Chains A and B, each alone.
Chain A
Amino acid sequence: MTQTNATKYGMVIDLDKCTGCGACMVACYSENNVPFKKDESNKLDSINWIRVFKISNRKPYPDTEVCYLPMPCMHCGGIGDHGHSPCVSVCPATATDYDHSTGIVSQIYTRCFGCRYCMAACPYHARKFNWWDPVWPGDMEKYLSPNVSARMRGVVEKCSFCFHRYQLAKDRAYHEGRHQEPLGENEYQPACVESCPAGAMTFGDLNNPKHAVYTLKKNPHAFRLLERLQTNPKVYYISSREWVRRAGDNYLSHEETGSIKRAAANHH
């Protein structure tokens, strides 16, 4: 199951373009029936499938620079893309699994019994736990989308790269007799990518040279987060600023920016 021409969906986020407006987060909430609480300021129990972090170079005024960093689930393939992502490896209930036909790490809510081992294993804090039952005040239950089931108390949830959109696109392709062909680049796009007003996010098949992400991920300024961990994430970032690229990994002071990325590339 490890043929290199298999579809491998991934994302490239241009941090030079991201303005931190937060549209991706709300796009995700509204697409995936993500619940909300009265107080969402404790980010440890706030459910976000994608969260935009703000990082700083910490230089004094007026040399300060900041950069926004949107973080969805990285859909780690593990070493050699064998699907040994940190979370999948530890799940005792097979509630999360690696889909070799798309490279997407799934989450099946009804299988999850809430041990949160996966949350401890995930180095990116991509997973969130439902500590409470969801409440939609007023008539807000009416806006819930039937494409994604509402989650209940006691389960873990995370970004699915809007897998239901993939399924809908596949259904449509099957209906039109195109089930043998790969999906077109625009047929399947996650909600966050689609809504980004600055066009900072690009999504597609990382293995398909016709898709924009194939070229973008080879940008010399492209990097992934915590590559030293060998998680092999499918979310790439581009930044023209060195301090931002350096913030993407735990560099030792003597290590040159980009050295971890090169080491990881050799390993895979």
Chain B
Amino acid sequence: MKIDRRSFIALSIGASVGIHISPAPWKLMDDAAIWTQNWPWTPVPERGEVSYVRSVCTLCPGACGIMVRKVNNRAVRIEGMKNHPVSSGGICPLGLSGLQYLYGPARVKTPLKREGKRGEGKWKEIGWDEALSAVTGQLADLRANNNPQGVAWIAGSDRGTIPRLIDRFLSAYGSPNFIRPAGAADTLEQAVYLTQGQLGTVAYDLENTNFILSFGAGLLEGWGAPVRMLHLHGKRDKSRTIVQIEPRLSDTAAKADQWIGINPGTEGTLALGLAHVIIKESLYNMEFIENAATGFAGGADKDGQTRQGFRDMVIENYAPESVSRITGVPARTIEDLARRFARADKKVAIFGRGQGSLPGSMSDGLAVHALNALVGAIHQPGGVSVVSDPDFAKWPESSIDETASQGRQQPRIDGAGTDAFPYSRYLMTQLPEIINSASGDAPIKALMVSEANPLYTLPDTAAARKAFDRIPLIVNFSTFMDETAAYSDYILPNHSYLERLQDVPSPEGLPYTVIGLAKPAVKPLYDTRHIGDVVIEMAKTLGGFVADAFPWNDYESFLKDALADHWRQLNGKGFVEIRQPSSELAPYEFATASAKFEFLPSTGTDTGDDKLPAWPQSAPLPIEGDAQRFPLVLIPYDSMRLANRNIANAPFMTKIIDDTILKKQLVSVEVNPQTAGRLGIGEGDTAELSTPRGKAVVRVHLQEGIQPDLLSMPRGLGRWGFPDDWYINDKGVNFNDLIGPRPDPLSGLDTAWGIRAQLTRV
């Protein structure tokens, strides 16, 4: 057929009409649309009966009340518990991500034995019987060789019945080495002990205060009980002033009534500068100073030597002008702040940077605490006080054998409680140095780890890994595969927090006590065991006096015993609230030798008082690094969106990190535009960040709200020990790779708040 113009047009028109009349294209298009949506792998969640389980979140020490929503046997959502005395119905992003931890691929599903080299990730699945007999066998050998003190146990906390069960195990076994990470609360605990003679957790009555002076505490970024703080912020009105002092515009600073930029590390100096103005203008609490304090005016100490009083020392050395030179805070701001603070009705000064997981120096802790004393904010409504854990647990006495007794008398491996650091209880950051510098065999023969991830959280992780390499046996009770688990020889997986029963101690900083009960929301998904049951079983296998110390069949019967009268309420309501007087002592009574608040504390030991911060020289401790090679200073910051302790971010948590903080695999370092301009670096550039301890490739984020010449980086990234499908590995840098510990001369606690650094464009 010949195709001419006419027939071509006819054919075209015919085809168009035909296509439009035929249903085929529309049908095909519709089918295609449906087809693209009907993939069989798009899940259809099963329906069923809805129920709720009341429990307590233990992902951080904040102890929020939670309600776990279930459909049949599945946990589908976590909600805040209404009217809870800590969290008031609120919940944080970490708590809301909880089910991703329960069902996530990071879970260790069965006991594991290491096959390859440490950290290589080759494991053999073994049964509980094999795992337990291997571990207890080695523990029994150590005891048989009279070396029970060669065992150390790093736990996430020392409060609550599980850590105490572990400590009891170590006592009966013969090791003094129960260790946990320390924070700002430990420094403050010692400052309070030295000045007030009291032991306990330091608490702040923030609900009733009118003026909060925060020396860098991340009140809205995970400090204390995070949800209590966020709730308190939401309830805020004009009657409460918050002043935030730190070198970087944190979220807390952004929400404060006033943000005072300060040179990093000079917070203690500023506290004494404020004290200077308060004393000079007679704004201090005369009643407290005259009736309840010593050392204010000076005089002879217990050895008959004359010591300058706090008043004269502060007046002589901390005039606003000289403090201004050190801190970078204008003298007028110091004077104005001191007057407003002292004149406020109820006020409190808070010590500790960020979430409070860095201990800080004793001189800073003492300076801030002295400021509280000066304005009479101790044991007062709206002030700072000491809370002791209620001792409801009934522990039957147990006797120990000769081996255990000798082992217990050995000095602690971390040096805490020894003559060098008499008031410190735990010095985990000292461990790597002690192990690495030991000649011959490592002083730790067997290390047990539970609810802790020291290879991630210890400063200078490279040194920590080197130290761990020297420990012959590492046993981990981790629920998840993490950095320390990856370095272990055996993993005896604990139930996840939503599968296990445990009491939850009162969170830090709360002026009253709230004990919670975490209850299993679902049956254990995998072949895991409750750590309490495992400890009891290990003790029974070891036999003799160790077994005798554990007369319980399992953790549950022990817990019911321990909680005694509280069990019924805890089991039903989920928490018990105990409102006790903030201290057993009257407001102006203290447990020191003088029964007064001691502005010039004495260590009371043979080593003498010369290690105490000689107040006049409490200049900031120098930070690590050569100022020539490393002209900048790097500090960390904490965020509600980044889990920076033992557990890593769940996928939901990583999803809410801003793209100005994490972009692809690179973490951003905050730089002031002025500094960046001088370095020739712009927004989004890739740069090399180096410190005396390490190097990292980072992204640059220009941020006006940071002091020039300062760099800041979030804590919580740079994870490598988790499985790849947990979506957190190899993102960003672990801040602890770049910093090393700086022990405080008095407490031995880590004082490092930053390190010198250099940033160069690559």
Contacts and interface: CB of A to CB of B under 8 A. Distances in A.
Interface string A142-178: 1111100111111100000000000000000000000
A123 interface: no
Interface in B640-676: 640-641, 651-660, 662-664, 672-674
Contact of A144 (B38, B45, B653, B707): B45
B233 A17 contact: yes
Given A30-B78, A62-B261, A197-B92, A146 B45 contact: yes
B105 A19 contact: no
B743 interface: no
Given A40-B655, A138-B104, A197 B43 contact: no
Interface string B219-244: 01000001100110111100000000
B107 interface: yes
A33 interface: yes
A198 B76 CA distance: 24
B712 to A, nearest CB: 12
A21 B658 contact: no
B194 interface: no
B96 A27 contact: yes
Contacts of B236: 17
B91 A195 contact: yes
Given A17-B233, A41-B664, A36 B103 contact: no
A199 interface: yes
B261 A143 contact: no
Contacts of A140: 99-100, 103-104
Contacts of A54: 658, 660
Interface stretch (A64-72, A81-89, A96-104): A64-72
B57 to A, nearest CB: 12
Nearest to B658: A54
Interface residues of B, number: 80
A60 B33 contact: no
A56 B658 CA distance: 14
B94 to A, nearest CB: 8
Given A66-B705, A138-B104, A154-B36, A36 B652 contact: yes
B664 to A, nearest CB: 6
A151 B43 CA distance: 9
B107 A60 contact: no
Given A19-B220, A19-B251, A153 B230 contact: no
B659 A138 contact: no
B25 to A, nearest CB: 15
B102 interface: yes
Interface in A1-54: 16-17, 19-23, 25-27, 29-31, 33, 36-43, 46, 48, 52, 54
A162 to B, nearest CB: 12
Nearest to B41: A133
B43 A144 contact: yes
B666 to A, nearest CB: 9
Contacts of B87: 197
A143 B42 contact: no
A58 interface: yes
B93 to A, nearest CB: 4
B91 A197 contact: yes
Nearest to A66: B254
A56 B659 contact: no
Interface in A105-127: 109-110, 113-114
A33 B46 CA distance: 13
A43 B36 CA distance: 24
B659 A43 contact: yes
Contact of A154 (B37, B76, B260): B37
Given A17-B234, A195-B90, 9 more contacts: A30-B99, A61-B672, A138-B105, A145-B45, A145-B77, A146-B47, A153-B36, A197-B227, A197-B231
Interface of B: 33, 36-39, 41-48, 69, 71, 74-80, 87, 90-93, 96-97, 99-100, 102-107, 220, 226-227, 230-231, 233-236, 249, 251, 254-255, 259-261, 525, 640-641, 651-660, 662-664, 672-674, 704-708, 725-727
The 4 closest A-B CB pairs, nearest first, are A197-B90, A138-B105, A198-B234, A64-B705
9 contacts: A17-B236, A19-B233, A25-B656, A26-B96, A36-B654, A48-B655, A133-B42, A138-B106, A143-B75
Interface of A: 16-17, 19-23, 25-27, 29-31, 33, 36-43, 46, 48, 52, 54, 56, 58-62, 64-68, 109-110, 113-114, 133-134, 136-146, 149-155, 194-200
